[in-house]
A and B are shown apart, each in its own frame.
Chain A
Amino acid sequence: MSKAYFNYAGKRLLQAIVVILLSYVFTFVVVSILPGDPITNVLNNPQNGFTPDEIKEIIAAQGLDKPIPVQLWNAFSGFLTGDLGLSMRTNRPVATLIAEVLPSTLVLASAGLAVALLLAAIIAYGTQFLPQRFGQGLLRGFPSLFLSVPNFVIGLVLIHLFGFQLGVFRVIEPDSFWATLFAAIALGIPISAQIAEVLIANLDHESGQDYATVARGRGLSQMRLFVKHLLKPSSLPVITVVALTIGELLGGSLITETVFGRNGLGSLVQRSVSTQDLPVLQAVVSLAAVVFVVVNLIADLTYPLLDPRVKLLGTQQRRPTTADDSSLPISKAVTP
C-alpha cells in the first residue's frame, strides 16, 4: 500500500489508543467524582449486612481511603496490565465475572447483528424491485418506524405473541434456540433501521449517477443494473456504519437481556448498577469502549483497501476547506 495509507493507519492507531486510555479515565471520573458517595452508601446499607470492621477492610482492600488521583492511577495501571480489580459485592475478580457472561452476550450480539444486516438488506434492496408508488413507499417507511419503537417494546411484543400466545419458545428457558432468536430480532430491528437508511440513501445516490443512466439506456433490466452496477458501490460504505452500530448492539443488549431474562454482560451491568458495584461498571464500560474503538479502527483501516474510490484523509489535508470529520476516512459522506 501507499505511503499515504501507512501514514493514515499510524495516525488512526495512535488516535485509537489515546481514545481508549482517555475513555477509561473519563469513566473513572464519572463514577468516582460526581456528587453522592455510592460506595459507602452501599456498604452501609444494612441489607448488605457488613459490620463496620468489614466495611473498613473492604475500603482498604479497594484502596478507597486514598486520594482520588492515587485511586485513578492504581486502577489505571491495573487496567493497562489486564487487572480489572475485584467486584465490590461478590469480592471476586471482575475479569472472571465478565468472562462468565461474555459468551452469552457475544451470541446475542452477533445474532442481533445478523438479523439487522438481513433485515436491512431486505428493506433496502427490496426498494429496487417494488413499484415506485405503493410497495417502495411502504418499505421506505420501515426504517423510521423501527427507529420509533423502544426495543424493550419489541421484545415484550415478541414474548407476548410467540412466547405466550403461540408457544414457540418458553420464557423460562432464555438460552434456548428460539428464545435467543427472538431476543436477537428484538435487538436487531432498531439497528437494521440505521443500516437500511444508509443503504437506501446510497442506492438512490448511485442510481442517479450517469453510469446508471447509461446502463439503463443500454437496455439493462432493473435486476441486472442492480446486481451488476449498484449493489457493490452502495453496499461497501455500510461497513463503516455497521462498525458504528457496535455501540448500539452493546447498549441494546443491556435492555434485551433484561427483557428476555438472559444472563449476560447487560444483566451484569444491570445488577452492578443496582448494587452500585463500581469496579464492575468501570470495567464493562471501558471494555465496551475498547471493543467499539477496535472495531471502528479495523473498519477504517480495511475500508480504503476495499473501496478504491476512497480518498484518504492524508491526501486532503492540504485543503483545510473540507469539513470532514477526522474519524471518517471517507471523502464521501455516508451518513443518512
Chain B
Amino acid sequence: MTLASISSTPRATLVDRLTGLRVPPVVVLSFLVVALAIAWSLAPGLFTGYDPVSGTPAQKLLGPSAAHWFGTDHLGRDLYARIVYGTASSVASALIAVVIGVVVGGIIGLLAGFFGGWVDTVFARLVDVLLAIPKFLLAVIVVTAIGFDTTNAAIATGVSAVALFARVMRSEVIKTRQATFVESSFLLGGSRWHILWRHVLPNASRSVLPLAVLQFGDSILVIASLAFLGYGDPPPASDWGLLISIGKDYLKWPWLVYAPALVTIATVLSVNRISRWLRKTD
C-alpha cells in the first residue's frame, strides 16, 4: 500500500507533465477526425469521384463494398459521396450557430456582469426566459418563424445557445472584475472601456473557449435533429440529419442509417473530447 503510493506519486507527476507537453493519443485522433471533417467540407471533390446528386438507378441499394464504401441509396447514389458533400452544411452551419451563441451571449453576459445594476436585471430576465423555453423547442419555433433552410436552422440553434454563453460569461466577468489587477488598473486611471476590453474580456473568455467547442458538437446534433425533422435544406441536399431521415424509410438496408449516424457520432465525439482536453489543460 505504502510502497505503491510512494512509487506511484512521481510517476503520476511525470504523466501529468507529459500530458502538459504532449497531446494524449485520443485527442490527436479527435483532431484528425475533425480535420478530416473540415477537409470534407472544404474540398469534397478531392475525397470522392462520385456525384452526390445524380446516381445510377441500376446500382440502387447496394451494400457497402470496395467501389461504394458506405453502399448506395434508393436512387443508386454513392452514400459516401453524399456524406462527404453534406459535411459542409452539417459542420459549417454548426460553426454559424456557435458564433451567434458566443457573440450575442458573450456581449449580453459581458455587459450584464460588468455594469451590474438594472442592466444586469434586464438581461438576467431575458436569459431566464431563454432558459425556460426548452432549447430544442426554441430552435424549432425560431426556424419556423424565419423559414426552413439549413442556414436558418443554424441561426435558430445559435439563438437557443445564447442563454448558456450569457450565463457563463456573466459569472466569469464578475469573477474577473474583482481581481486585484483590475482594481489596480482602475486606480491607475484606466477607463471602464479600457478595462473591459484589455482585462476583463480576455480573462473571462478563457473559460468560454472549451464551452464554445462543446457547443460546436452540440450544435451539430441540434442541426442534425432539425434536418431530420425536415427543417433544413430539402433533398437533394445531403445534410447528415437529412440522410438519416431518408435512410429511416429503408431500414431493410440499415447502412443508409448507420453510415451517416456513425460519421455524425464520430465527429461530435471528437469535438467533445477536444473540449474536455481544453478544459483540463486550462
Alpha-carbon distance A285/B225, docked complex (angstroms): 18
Is B50 part of the contact surface with A, judged by Cβ < 8 Å? no
- Nearest-neighbor residue (CB-CB) of A29 within chain B: B145
Alpha-carbon distance A288/B146, docked complex (angstroms): 21
Is B136 part of the contact surface with A, judged by Cβ < 8 Å? yes
How many residues of chain B get a CB closer than 8 Å to chain A's CBs?
A: 54
- How many A-B residue pairs lie within 8 Å, measured between CB atoms? 151
Residues of A within 8 A of B (CB): 15, 18-20, 22-23, 26-27, 30-31, 34-36, 38, 144-145, 147-153, 156-157, 159-160, 164, 246-248, 250-252, 254-255, 258-259, 269-270, 273-274, 276, 281, 284-285, 288-289, 292-293, 321, 323-327
Could you say which residues of chain B place their CB within 8 Å of the CB of A258? 229
Is B209 part of the contact surface with A, judged by Cβ < 8 Å? no
Could you say which residues of chain B place their CB within 8 Å of the CB of A248? 134-136
- Structural contact, A281 and B141, CB atoms closer than 8 A: yes
- Structural contact, A23 and B229, CB atoms closer than 8 A: no
Between-chain CB contacts (< 8 Å), 18 pairs: A36-B146, A144-B273, A148-B268, A148-B269, A151-B225, A152-B225, A152-B228, A152-B245, A153-B261, A157-B261, A164-B252, A247-B131, A247-B133, A251-B134, A258-B229, A259-B248, A273-B231, A274-B230
Residues of B within 8 A of A (CB): 124-126, 128-138, 140-142, 144-147, 167, 171-172, 174-175, 178, 217-218, 221, 224-225, 228-231, 241, 244-245, 247-248, 251-252, 254, 257-258, 261, 264-265, 268-269, 272-273, 276
- Structural contact, A23 and B132, CB atoms closer than 8 A: yes
Chief secondary structure at chain B's binding surface: helix
Q: Give the residue of B138, B225, B273 whose beta carbon is less than 8 angstroms from that of A150.
A: B225
- Nearest-neighbor residue (CB-CB) of B262 within chain A: A153
Q: Give the residue of B133, B140, B144, B273 whose beta carbon is less than 8 angstroms from that of A289.
A: B133
- Structural contact, A255 and B133, CB atoms closer than 8 A: no
- Structural contact, A150 and B129, CB atoms closer than 8 A: no
- Nearest-neighbor residue (CB-CB) of A274 within chain B: B230
